Amino acid sequence: MVTKTLTRESIAAAALELVDRDGLEALSMRRLADELGVGTMTLYGYFRSKTELLEALMDSAVTVPEVPTLEGHWRERLVLVARGLRAYLESHPALVQIRAQQRLTRPRQFVATELMTRALLDAGLSREEAARAFRVVFTYVFGFVAFSPTTTADVARREVRSALAGLDPATYPALASMPDEAAAAAAGDEQFEYGLELMLDGIEVRAAH
Amino acid sequence: MVTKTLTRESIAAAALELVDRDGLEALSMRRLADELGVGTMTLYGYFRSKTELLEALMDSAVTVPEVPTLEGHWRERLVLVARGLRAYLESHPALVQIRAQQRLTRPRQFVATELMTRALLDAGLSREEAARAFRVVFTYVFGFVAFSPTTTADVARREVRSALAGLDPATYPALASMPDEAAAAAAGDEQFEYGLELMLDGIEVRAAH
DNA sequence: ACCTGAACACCGTTCAAGT
DNA sequence: ACCTGAACACCGTTCAAGT
């Protein structure tokens, strides 16, 4: 590998690429250094620890230079941003894992937050409610990416159905009566949209209009 | 440490205790074997791999022998189960981390699912909608535990406020105008309840009554 | 100033050998 | 049958030394 001039940014970018390619568990200081063609300890000249490298990785993943101005009804805008956030996180699953393990200390990555919050304020929510409602949607989107099977919908469905098949109908009457419905709800675009619309209805109840 | 007769169950229970005490990252085959007073490789007589041990750990964490019959209005029951699930997960944070990293293959841990699904069916939702609505609440509860700061509410608030302080009010007008509200929404019981009620309102819209 | 090999204290797991 | 030490291929990080 050609040795370019290293910077915090170029190292973080290489780490993100490694992680997108091979998964978070494949990221080690030794392997990253290897791929960059330097000694392992060289990285410690740029980052005090692996944790600090992961922070920089999170930062480098967000490169939206400008906050776009969205047009349209608040509800439509909220759906667009939530969908975009989900798609983005599913293309970089390691970000969700890192986010679950360590808090964010840096600014940036607030673009989606800003856009959703604007939409919620436009919906007529108070500042307090807009902040809370945003957090609910945020939690849902991150939770969806983190806790939904990433395999094919087909595989996920088969897994859920076989898990439910082991349940005693006498003690689990509800679940045992609906294996197919539960399997369909385990993952996928339709399920994501269902939850999003459900939450937006809950928000609409709170919105003055 | 006194060497008792080892079984898959007793090893899994010891692993859960270790993880509750010192965190998931402290769980290694070597250390667990040490605490049990046996050689590391002994554990491989009971589990093919660490992954299999983690599966057994998840199983051993759920020891609800009976599914209780809850009384009352569906909405009230759903709130109770969601609160209970959250409290349980926050007392065993490692379970959430494991759940994010590997799929479940075992039955059990379906008690909360059954109870919530029953409540949703009682609310008048179709099987399909009950399954989907359950998944939304499940995603929210797990997401809340996984992605909310576990530190004191005070510490979390200070962190959020300082992160927002670095934002340019010209590009982030909404967020910059409400640091306190955003900080209050970052974690805590009130925020959890807000999201829960919001989702229940969304469910109520879908419920026939 | 910048880089880095050796070393330390860890990992999960395979293999061969002990009882 | 049941258990396990040694070994292999890894970790993150400290320290001292190289240029």
**What pLDDT, on the 0 to 100 scale, is given for residue A156?**
78
Total residue length of chain B: 209
Strand C nucleotides, any atom under 7 Å to a protein CB: 2-6, 10-16
pLDDT in tens, A82-129: 999 999 999 999 999 999 887 766 666 789 999 999 999 999 999 999
pLDDT value at B2 more than 50: no
What is the dihedral angle through the alpha carbons of A48, A52, A57, A62, rounded to the nearest 10 degrees? Answer: -120
Which spans in A23-125 are helix H?
Answer: 29-36, 50-61, 74-91, 93-101, 111-122
Closest to A140 (Cβ–Cβ): which among B107, B127, B143? B143
Which spans in chain B are helix H?
Answer: 8-22, 29-36, 50-61, 74-91, 93-101, 111-122, 127-147, 153-165, 173-176, 179-184, 189-206
Q: Number of Cβ pairs closer than 8 Å across A and B?
A: 198
The beta-carbon contacts of B165-170 under 8 Å, at least 24 apart in sequence, are: B166/A107, B167/A107, B167/A110
Closest to B97 (Cβ–Cβ): which among A100, A103, A121? A100
- Which SS3 state, helix, strand or coil, does residue B160 take? helix
Which of the four pLDDT bands, split at 50, 70 and 90, describes residue A167?
confident
Half-sphere exposure of B166 (CA within 13 A, CB side): 11
Closest to A174 (Cβ–Cβ): which among B117, B178, B198? B117
**Positive or negative CA dihedral for B13, B15, B18, B19?**
negative
By C1' distance from the Cα of B48, the closest nucleotide is C13
CA B42 to C1' D4, in angstroms, rounded, equals 7
> A63 vs chain B: nearest CA distance in angstroms?
15
**What pLDDT, on the 0 to 100 scale, is given for residue A3?**
47
Task: Give B134's contacts in chain A (Cβ within 8 Å).
Answer: 185
Under DSSP, the state recorded for B2 is -
CB contact under 8 A, A103 and B166: no
pLDDT in tens, A12-69: 999 999 999 999 999 999 999 999 999 999 999 999 999 999 999 998 887 776 788 8
CA A199 to C1' C8, in angstroms, rounded, equals 53
pLDDT in tens, B177-198: 999 999 999 889 999 999 999 9
pLDDT in tens, B87-128: 999 999 999 999 988 776 666 678 999 999 999 999 999 999
What lies within 8 Å, CB to CB, of B61 at 6+ separation is B16, B92, B95, B109
pLDDT in tens, B131-174: 999 999 999 999 999 998 876 767 878 888 888 888 899 999 99
| Radius of gyration (C-alpha) of chain B in whole angstroms | 21
**What pLDDT, on the 0 to 100 scale, is given for residue A107?**
60
pLDDT value at B54 more than 60: yes
A182 touches B179 (CB < 8 A) = no
Nearest protein residue to nucleotide C14, judged by CA and C1' positions: B41
pLDDT in tens, B118-132: 999 999 999 999 999
